[in-house]
A and B are shown apart, each in its own frame.
Chain A
Amino acid sequence: AQSVTQLGSHVSVSEGALVLLRCNYSSSVPPYLFWYVQYPNQGLQLLLKYTTGATLVKGINGFEAEFKKSETSFHLTKPSAHMSDAAEYFCAVTFLSGNTGKLIFGQGTTLQVKP
């Protein structure tokens, strides 16, 4: 079955430090991969997505992620954390074929940014 696993339910970084949030996927068909962000008491917003083509994708607010098929990973990074980045981040997967309307989320990683 297709799924995503986020390593680390809670990540804490200092302001200005590198942000690295980990996501691994399992899929028997080519995946489309996404990162969504949820700010407190809100719904989710799309940060970035990988569909086909370039494996390094850039999103909003300085975030980027790299699709690595050999490692089945799609880790999210940002070179320098800002206080406003504190939120919960979700990796998600859908499929190139089959149930293409279905979007499956990981467990989420809460990012804390310390001053």
Chain B
Amino acid sequence: NAGVTQTPKFRILKIGQSMTLQCTQDMNHNYMYWYRQDPGMGLKLIYYSVGAGITDKGEVPNGYNVSRSTTEDFPLRLELAAPSQTSVYFCASSSQGPQASPLHFGNGTRLTVT
């Protein structure tokens, strides 16, 4: 099983550019998440989804957008990239939600905005 796959692994963006971070899972999980990880700040929830067609804001949604048209895919869109969005981004999935099943994490995307 591939689990949770994130692409790309690394990316450098210029200020004002846009990009999509891809996340796909092959476990038929309903719940999917996007987190960003900054040193000393832990993981901050950006957006999450409890099923196809349903998304909700997390703690730090500003500057990001998501969609969930299929169970497998949960792309994260950055419009007008800013230096504050330099971070490591993790996608995760869970079959029944965190109370009942663990989150499975991808290996992360390291994004630098200059």
A contact residues vs B (CB 8 Å cutoff): 6, 9, 32, 34, 36, 41-46, 49, 51, 90, 92, 94, 96, 99-108
Chain B positions near chain A (C-beta within 8 angstroms): 4, 31, 33, 35, 40-45, 48, 50, 56, 58-59, 90, 92, 97-99, 102-108
Q: B98's contact among A42, A90, A94, A107, by CB below 8 Å, is which?
A: A94
| A101-B90 CB under 8 A given contacts A34-B98, A108-B42 | no
Question: When the two chains form their complex, are residues B56 and A103 in contact, meaning their CB atoms are under 8 A apart?
Answer: no
Count A-B contacts at CB 8 Å: 67
Complex-state Cα separation, A96 to B97, whole angstroms: 11
- Pick the residue among B40, B50, B58, B105 that contacts A44 (CB under 8 A): B105
* Nearest B residue (CB) for A10: B40
- Cβ–Cβ contact A104 & B56, under 8 A: no
Shortest B111–chain A CB gap in Å is: 15
Q: How far is the CA of A74 from the CA of B104 in the complex (A)?
A: 22
Q: A98 CA to B50 CA in the complex, in Å?
A: 13
Could you jot down 8 A-B contacts, CB within 8 Å? Answer: A43-B107, A44-B103, A90-B43, A96-B99, A99-B56, A101-B31, A103-B48, A108-B40
Give the distance to chain A from B106, nearest Cβ to Cβ, in Å: 6
Per the bound structure, the CA–CA distance linking A34 and B98 in Å amounts to: 9
Give Cα A8 to B107, complex, Å: 26
Given contacts A9-B40, A43-B106, A43-B108, whether A100 and B92 have CB atoms under 8 Å apart is: no
Is there an interface contact between A44 and B99, defined as CB atoms closer than 8 Å?
no
What's the nearest-Cβ distance from chain A to residue B99, in Å? 5
Report the minimum CB–CB distance from A59 to chain B (whole Å). Answer: 11
Contacts of A34 in B (CB 8 A): 98
C-alpha spacing A104/B56, complex, angstroms: 14
| A46 vs B35: C-alpha distance when bound (angstroms) | 16
Is there an interface contact between B42 and A103, defined as CB atoms closer than 8 Å?
Answer: no
- Known interface pairs A42-B107, A44-B103; A101-B98 also in contact (CB < 8 Å): yes
Question: Measured between C-beta atoms, what is the minimum distance from A105 to chain B in Å?
Answer: 4
